[in-house]
Amino acid sequence: MENKGLTKVDLIFEKIDSKEVMVKAFKMSSAEIIQSMLDSGLKGRGGAGFPTGLKWKYTAAEKSPEKYIVCNADEGEPGTFKDREILDRASNKVHGGMAIAGKAIGAKKGFVYLRGEYRYLLPKLMIELASFHKMIHEIGFDFSIEYRMGSGAYICGEESALFESIEGKRGEPRNKPPYPTTSGVFEKPTSINNVETLVTAMMIIHHGAQNFIQYGTKDSRGSKVFSVSGDTPTPGIFELELGMTVLQFVNEFGDGDTKAVQVGGASGFCVPRKKFAETIIGFEGVPTGGSMKLFNSSRSMYNVLHNYLDFFTEESCGQCTPCRVGCQQLLKGVEKVKKGEAKSTYLTELVKLADTMKIAAKCGLGQSVGNAFKSIVGNFKEEIIY
């Protein structure tokens, strides 16, 4: 495996002339834009990591007079706050990325689905959107963007639940297939991309795919914005080249006493100290939408796990049984073991339940509860029992 070390990058927040990039994009054909994305190796920055070029290619191939670009700004993963920062500081690039994506797939309309918790950003975003619309219409783009607000439901970050919410319904995930590229919002072909993905796409058009692939590794191209929090002297937003190990990350951000790093939020993985050196942050190791939480030795990993399970129990949409009941039983289960009401071997049963949820849950929420559960129980069993 390649190991690139820790390098700070300035791409997402780099000051650029948006108009210049938009003029360049306007002169490119749909196929050329998509090819740039494919060449860049860009994968979705929301966490799931689907190749952006492929997503655009599939949506472009659909024969439909109506298509949509949706920007997923329902950032809700515990420990993630980079999209808020990007929207606050670089919304022109978010809007620009959407218009470029629109040109690539043949969509004239885009939605930004912004989580309700970030409503305070809206007045500023509306002003910036108005000047953006004016600018791209002068260039000749036939594209417009509308903001839709969420109302405090983590599950609406799941793409099909987000579509349901835009359509005015309960945010319950749909069955897949059909995938959004065929049938997304309003049952029309839709490319749904994370805030950071759209900004990165615009920067790839600006600098060229060849420039972008110099950063990162074969499986994880480019750089990424990390949200760093927990037991660290320097919490905040950092854009880093992909491909570093957890150890290199901890050396930079740790407080000297880091015992575990939760990579990818509540639905991600817990990496214990003994695995810092061998674990690469990226799609070849532990993937992340950006959430990096450091825990030092004063923290109880039982409390961490309990907090996550409590989170999932509340945020499960309740539609499918494996997730609705599974989350509750995992929570009750660890409480029982902690209180001594169940034997420590009961944890093995709970791990089986987490495995069942991974197979049987309808969407990514229920499927990923086991990530944190198994990695915390597996690495910190004593803390869960005693």
Partner 1 sequence: MYQVGNFVKKLSNKHGRERESLMPILQAIVQKHNYLTDEAMVEVARELDISAAEVYGTASFYTFLDTQVKGKYIIRVCKTITCSMKGKSDIIHILEDMLKIKVGETTSDKQFSLIETNCIGWCHKAPAILINEMPYTELTPEKVSAIIKDYMHK
Provide the binding-site residues for partner 1, judged by CB under 8 A.
75-81, 83-84, 115-120, 148-154, 165-172, 186, 227-231, 235-237, 266, 293, 299, 303-304, 307-308, 311, 314-315, 317
Alpha-carbon separation of residue 126 from 116, 190, 240 (angstroms): 15, 23, 30
State the amino acid at position 384 in one-letter form. Answer: I
Give the shortest CB-212-to-partner 1 separation in angstroms. Answer: 27
Q: Which residues contact 142 (CB under 8 A, 6 or more apart)?
A: 108
**CB closer to partner 1, 166 vs 280:** 166
**CB closer to partner 1, 83 vs 219:** 83
8 Å CB contact between 94 and 114: no
Give the shortest CB-363-to-partner 1 separation in angstroms. Answer: 15
CA dihedral (189, 193, 197, 199) positive or negative: positive
Cα 282 → chain centroid: 13
Give the shortest CB-367-to-partner 1 separation in angstroms. Answer: 19
Give the shortest CB-117-to-partner 1 separation in angstroms. Answer: 5
Q: Which residues of 317-345 are buried (b: 16+ CB within 10 A; e: fewer)?
A: bebbebbbebbebbbebbeebbeeebeee
**CB closer to partner 1, 195 vs 201:** 195
Per the DSSP assignment, residues forming a β-bridge with 71 are 112, 193
Give the shortest CB-320-to-partner 1 separation in angstroms. Answer: 15
**CB closer to partner 1, 303 vs 348:** 303
**CB closer to partner 1, 78 vs 287:** 78
8 Å CB contact between 180 and 190: yes
Q: How many CA atoms lie within 13 A of 262 on its CB side?
A: 29
Alpha-carbon separation of residue 22 from 10, 132, 141, 146 (angstroms): 20, 10, 9, 19
**CB closer to partner 1, 112 vs 266:** 266
**CB closer to partner 1, 104 vs 301:** 301
Length of the chain in residues, anyone? Answer: 386
Burial class (CB in 10 A: 0-12, 13-18, 19+), 250: buried
| Cα(236)–Cα(354) distance, integer angstroms | 32
Give the shortest CB-260-to-partner 1 separation in angstroms. Answer: 12
**CB closer to partner 1, 172 vs 196:** 172
Say if strands 109-114 and 144-149 run parallel, antiparallel, or are unpaired: parallel
CB neighbours (10 Å) of residue 174?
Answer: 20
**CB closer to partner 1, 252 vs 284:** 252
Give the shortest CB-203-to-partner 1 separation in angstroms. Answer: 23
Give the shortest CB-86-to-partner 1 separation in angstroms. Answer: 12
Give the shortest CB-83-to-partner 1 separation in angstroms. Answer: 8
**CB closer to partner 1, 243 vs 370:** 370
| Cα(44)–Cα(123) distance, integer angstroms | 28
Give the shortest CB-266-to-partner 1 separation in angstroms. Answer: 8
8 Å CB contact between 294 and 253: yes
